Amino acid sequence: MSITLQNHYRIAGRGRVIFAFANIHPPFGTFLAQWPLKLAGQCTHSPAAGKIALMYLRNERSYFFHSRKFFSFLLFALLITACSTPAAEQVYLPTYDPFLPMEVTPAENSPAQNPNAPRPPTPTRAPLTIPLPGEFSAGTPTPDARHALPTLRPAAEQYVVQPGDTLGLIAQGYGISVAALMEANNISDPNLLEVGAALTIPAPNPADAGTAYKVIPDSELVYGPASVYFNVKDFIQSQNGYLASYTQDVNGAVMSGDEIVAFVSANYSVNPRLLLAMLEYQSGWVTNPLPEEASYPMGLQDEYHFGLYRQLTWAADTLNRGYYLWKANAISAWILNDGAVVPANPTINAGTAAVQYFFAQLNGRAAWEKDVDGTGMLLTYVVFFGNPFKYAIEPLVPQSITQPALTLPFGSGETWYFTGGPHGGWDSGSAWAALDFAPPGDLGCAASPLWVLASASGLIVRASDGAVMLDLDNDGYEQTGWNILFMHIATEGRVQPGEYLFTGERIGHASCEGGFSNATHVHIARKYNGEWIPADGALPFNLEGWVSSGTGREYDGFITKGSRSIEALDSADELNQVTR
């Protein structure tokens, strides 16, 4: 479930069924959806059916007792209790009254059992230990050691279209252009793609390799420690450009230009200095009061991405995709806007790879070469902020790092559903840093009465728009150390910024709030020094012994504890139940 902003379409499947009966009185529709009947000669019998009927009458007495529907319903209840049980069918009944709010009794010793119980003293805020950036020697930094990149395919292949595929995703996965894919398969309309169709994937025709010039360090790509001292609003206002007075409605709230930049930067975990340098380079919005391009300032001419907010979300997601594909050794060439295939130089770093990947989406070879050398976007950056390598923090994520102890994000004794394997921490471009868990109950998108609990102790540094960020090192900055994102947390009952939580204390209620989601769940992801940590990588999630793994396909994956493995399913099923 999703990240994130996109790709959060994992659901607890029973939520679909309820709406099929929406035209019947709502509680009665829920009743029908949960207990299927076979009234034509045979029906499902339940010893609790009489109790269910009484529960319904108790809750709907004002609606029923004074109408003829009461007698129809009474006859219906008698039919239920009189039916014989078919031997081959087993019926699963809820252990709670489905027409009343669910009251959960947490397991003994659970921190959520009594939120008013005495708490340990709140720890003193940890000091910020990031030094002020120092000057770095001028010139191009030392190249990286050669990255082990995947080999370009030497011959054509066949691919069978799967549910959810698009030509763009298929082309991206095989390192070719959409135009080349369409030409090889005589496709005239890229929007018409049939599941099960066999496609020919042509071999790429690589041009000369790309430049080895390093543009930015990794720490200038991510919203990491080097961004702690940067004030987005002050900088934008000091430039007196179009951005300084810009406002836009974002999801029903009017936001200023600096608020939009800060919002996107924090959500996607992309450095605001880089976003501002690229915005200026592409359109002049930061310094020019009257820029020529006022609708698509990051250069993507697409009606859906009209305005600053969606231009920046696209840019941040694209930068992330280049960065994390490079980190995973999962890409070896850039597909330029004109279809040219440019093999990547194996000695660049991930931050530079992100910039090269971004400009590949917009330009052909000649313009791309300028974009990614010392006279392109980098020159704008240097004019604004100086040499980017003076902000370098290396390594950003030490190889020796270990995950702190984390618990499952729900109460002891509770059973939830594992509905999403490794997928984007935020949107589809970031590392597959997230897992999804759905609470029990046919909720649709209603907030669950169950609580999402803190998986570790820490300070709440952000809580809005469905997102809650828990800072484990307690220095008050999500750019430093370990941070845990809890997504789709309902506004009502949600923890507030500035509160310190101990492990197992209440974050809020799972819902659909924030991003895209079509069923209630909680999305949990990890960052270290601003970098999303993959759930299917060298440092997988470990949630009280449940260790995550992936299959190479987003949202597919497992959590394993000892000899038991649970596969993520797009449903609520016994097979994907996990009990804490």
Q: What is the DSSP string of 449-487?
A: SSEEE-SS-EEEEEEETTEEEEETT-SS-TTSSEEEEEE
pLDDT at 27 over 80: no
Question: What is the CATH topology of the domain spanning 218-391?
Answer: Lysozyme (1.10.530)
Neighbours of 287 (CB within 10 A): 17
pLDDT at 515: 82
Lowest mean pLDDT among 98-107, 218-227, 482-491: 98-107
pLDDT at 74 over 50: no
Crossing angle of the two packed helices 350-360 and 308-327, in degrees rounded to 10: 130
CATH 3.10.350.10 boundaries in the chain: 157-201
Query: Across all residues in the chain, what is the average pLDDT?
Result: 83
pLDDT at 508 over 70: yes
CATH 1.10.530 boundaries in the chain: 218-391
Its pTM stands at 0.78
Of 293, 292, 307, nearest to 248 by C-alpha is: 307
pLDDT at 271 over 90: yes
How is residue 538 written in tokens?
């060298």
Helix (H) or strand (E) holding 249: strand 247-250
Q: Are strands 522-528 and 247-250 parallel, antiparallel or unpaired?
A: unpaired
> Going by CATH, does the domain composed of 157-201 fall within 3.10.350.10?
yes
Neighbours of 250 (CB within 10 A): 18
Crossing angle of the two packed helices 272-283 and 308-327, in degrees rounded to 10: 120
Helix (H) or strand (E) holding 560: strand 557-561
Residue bearing the bigger pLDDT, 473 or 148: 473
Over range 433-455, report the average pLDDT.
97
What are the pLDDT digits (tens) for 256-269? 999 999 999 999 99
Lowest mean pLDDT among 177-181, 249-253, 564-568: 177-181
How is residue 324 written in tokens?
């994390």
Indicate left, alpha or beta for 191 from its phi (over 0: left) and psi (-120 to 50: alpha): alpha
What are the pLDDT digits (tens) for 567-577? 999 999 999 99
Report how far residue 196's alpha carbon sits from residue 187's, in angstroms, rounded to the nearest whole number: 15
Report how far residue 259's alpha carbon sits from residue 266's, in angstroms, rounded to the nearest whole number: 11
Over range 538-557, report the average pLDDT.
97
Neighbours of 158 (CB within 10 A): 8
What are the pLDDT digits (tens) for 205-219? 899 999 999 999 999
pLDDT band of 448, cuts 50, 70, 90:
very high
Residue bearing the bigger pLDDT, 139 or 206: 206
Q: How far is CA 109 from CA 106, 115, 117, 579, in A?
A: 8, 12, 11, 16
pLDDT at 32 over 80: no
Over range 179-185, report the average pLDDT.
90
Q: Residues 19, 443: contact at Cβ < 8 Å?
A: no
pLDDT at 133 over 70: no
pLDDT at 45: 34
CATH 2.70.70.10 boundaries in the chain: 93-130+399-580
pLDDT at 127 over 70: yes
pLDDT at 134: 57
pLDDT at 40 over 70: no
Residue bearing the bigger pLDDT, 15 or 352: 352
| Diameter of the chain measured on Cα atoms | 87
Burial (0-12, 13-18, 19+ Cβ within 10 Å), 52: buried
Of 189, 185, 188, nearest to 197 by C-alpha is: 185
How is residue 175 written in tokens?
């390192």
Q: How far is CA 577 from CA 163, 403, 417, 566, 574, in A?
A: 25, 24, 5, 8, 5
pLDDT at 137 over 50: no
Rounded percentage of the chain residues whose pLDDT exceeds 70 = 78
So what's the architecture of 93-130+399-580 in CATH? Answer: Distorted Sandwich (2.70)
pLDDT at 169: 85
Rounded percentage of the chain residues whose pLDDT exceeds 90 = 66
Report how far residue 530's alpha carbon sits from residue 528's, in angstroms, rounded to the nearest whole number: 5
